[in-house]
Amino acid sequence: MIVDKQSDSAISKRKFKIGEVMLDIKKILPLLGILVLVFLICGVLELSAAPKKHLIVIDPAHGGQDKGIALTDKVAEKDITLAVALALRKELSKENNLEVVLTRDSDKEVSLEDRKKNIAKIKPDFVLSLHTNAGFGKSASGFELYCPEFNKDFKKEKKTAKGDVRQEKNKYLNDSVRLARSIQENLNTLFPRKGRGLRRADLPITEDLFVPAVVVEMSFATNPEDKKKLLSQNTQTEIANALAKSIKSFYR
């Protein structure tokens, strides 16, 4: 009987406990419902309002005391690269899947080391560096494009490079070449028969950084016809639009 009594009281205790739990769940259920709803709404909002942002670095070469090539007494390469970079940023900022960072957005001197440090820190999806060309006499004209060689860095790491590292580097190179080809196509439309081709080189701006990159030599400051175009605000905007078109279509 004592045993029965004990089991009776154990049963009543369990019932009581179950009752407590039931009561708690009843209290918690609406809260859980609200939480699930909030998560769902957040998820939907994130999908519709925040697509993956591709980070693009635009590098207007030179700046400040580092004027680059002088086009006139007052205008130098640093002014042309900045004008095109600002117009390009304006154009790319209209895309909600692109985020644009400039290595400089005013006439200030930023060392190559600082530019590279910044690029290494933010790890962009693409670096576009802008220059104007010079040399080879006055007859040389047209735009030139450079893709990173990656070879030097690749050799350095070859012994330790694992499969995925190699794959990553191949992807960087493929992205660079694909973007460069698209830029070439769009600049060809703007400057027919002016393309001097796509070359591979060790690019100082991205050396050791392993990031997709293209350097655009926008045309020759030493060629009278090219210089006239480079100095025209209209052409600067047209170059920026041609570059923007390639970047937009690549990340669309």
Nearer to Zn ion, 128 or 173 (CB): 128
Select the span of 4-12, 59-67, 185-193, 241-249 touching Zn ion (CB under 5 A): 59-67
Q: Which of 89, 115, 116, 131 binds Zn ion (CB under 5 A)?
A: 131
Least Cβ distance, residue 54 to Zn ion (angstroms):
26
Nearer to Zn ion, 131 or 245 (CB): 131
Residues 6+ apart with CB under 8 A from 251: 54, 95, 97, 98, 125
Q: Which of 60, 63, 68, 142 binds Zn ion (CB under 5 A)?
A: 68
Q: Which of 61, 84, 98, 205 binds Zn ion (CB under 5 A)?
A: 61
Select the span of 13-21, 64-72, 145-153, 227-235 touching Zn ion (CB under 5 A): 64-72
Nearer to Zn ion, 68 or 212 (CB): 68
Nearer to Zn ion, 68 or 142 (CB): 68
Q: How many residues bind Zn ion (CB under 5 A)?
A: 3
Round the CA-based radius of gyration of the chain to a whole number and report it.
29
**Which of 202, 204, 170, 198 has its CA nearest to residue 186?**
198
